[in-house]
Amino acid sequence: MRLGFIGLGNMGSELARHLLAAGHTLSAFARGERSRAHAGRLGLTLLPSPAEVARVSEVVFTMVTAGSDVETVALGPEGIVQGDVPGLVHVDLSTISPAITRAVGRRLAERGIAMLDAPVSGGVTGARAAALTFFVGGEPAVFDRVRPLLACLGQTIFHMGPLGTGQVTKLANQIALLANLQGAAEALLFAHAQGADPATVREALMTGFGASRMLDVLGKKMVERDFAAGIVAALHHKDLGVALELAHDAGLPLPVSAQVMQQLNALMASGYGGQDTSSLLLVLEQMMGRNPQKESAGNSAPRSTT
C-alpha cells in the first residue's frame, strides 16, 4: 500500500522500518532534526507537509507526543485534512485524550477521511521487535482494512470499540502500570532498608502474588541501578496527567493515581524526566535525604540497590 508516516521519533522510526520491510511504499513528514535523521537512515522521501503526505497515501500513521500535536498535524493549515483525499484513513498511534481524538475524528469525517486511534504498549523495545500491543478504536470496517498493517508492527491487536476507546484503554493501562511501578519501587526500598538484598527479594516476589511486569522488567533496572530510558518518564507523566484530568472532569476518585502523580511531579522537578520511569526509586531515596544521582553515576555494572 501507499502509506504515510508522521512522527519518526525513536518508536515511530522503528515502526516505519517494519512497514518498509513488508513491502509498502512510505512517504513521510518530519519536523525535528532527530526525525529527519531517522528518515534519512531509512531512505524515506520527506514531503513538505502532512497535507502532501495525505495526497499520496491510502493510510497515514501519526505518532506524536501530545493532543495539540495531533490537532496540528491532522487539522492545521497544512494538516492531513487539507489533503482532501476521501477514503483516506488516519491511524493515530499517539497517546492523547480520547476527547481530542473524537473531536479530530469528527472534523476528518466531514472531509470523508476515516480515523482510528491505536495507541500502543511495549515501548521502544517492543517497537524494535514488532511486538507491540495495539488498543484500537474506530469503525469495524476501517479496523479490518488497517489490521494487516498493524500486524506488521505488533503481536497483539485489540479492537476496543468506537473511536476514542483505544485511548481510554491505553490510559487505563498507564494507571495500572504506574501504580504497580510505584509499588515495586517502594517494595525494593523497604527490603533494602530492612536489611534484605533487593535482588533476592525481587526474585522471590516474582514467584508469588506480588509479581508484576513492572517488578520484573523495571524492578530489575532498579536493582541494577540502570535508569537509562526505555520509555522516558516524561511521557508517563504526560499520560497520567491526561488520565487524572479526565477523571476529575467525570468526578472519578483515583486516589492511588493521584499519589503516584505527586511522585512523578517530584521526579520531573528533580531532572529525571529524560530517564526511565524506574527513576521513581530515586525520588524515594531523595525523600530519605540520600543523593541517588551520585550513587548512580558511573555504575555500569549490575549491582544491588545501596
Pairing relation of β-strands 132-137 and 120-121?
A: antiparallel
With beta carbons less than 8 A apart as the criterion, state whether 27 and 57 touch.
Answer: yes
Nearest to 235 by CA among 273, 184, 263, 188: 273
133: β partners: 121, 156
- Which is catalytic among the residues 170, 220, 221, 294? 170
CA distance 192 to 201: 9
Residue 297: other Cβ atoms inside 10 A: 9
How far is residue 152's CA from residue 140's CA, in Å, rounded to a whole number? 19
DSSP line for the chain: -EEEEE--SHHHHHHHHHHHHTT-EEEEE--SHHHHHHHHHHTPEE-SSHHHHHHT-SEEEE--SSHHHHHHHHHSTTSGGGG--TT-EEEE-S---HHHHHHHHHHHHTTT-EEEE--EESHHHHHHTT-EEEEEES-HHHHHHHHHHHTTTEEEEEEEESTTHHHHHHHHHHHHHHHHHHHHHHHHHHHHHTT--HHHHHHHHTTSTT--HIIIIIHHHHHHT----SSBHHHHHHHHHHHHHHHHHHT---HHHHHHHHHHHHHHHTT-TTSBGGGHHHHHHHHTT--HHHHHTT--S-----
Is there a catalytic annotation at residue 294?
no
Catalytic residue set: 170
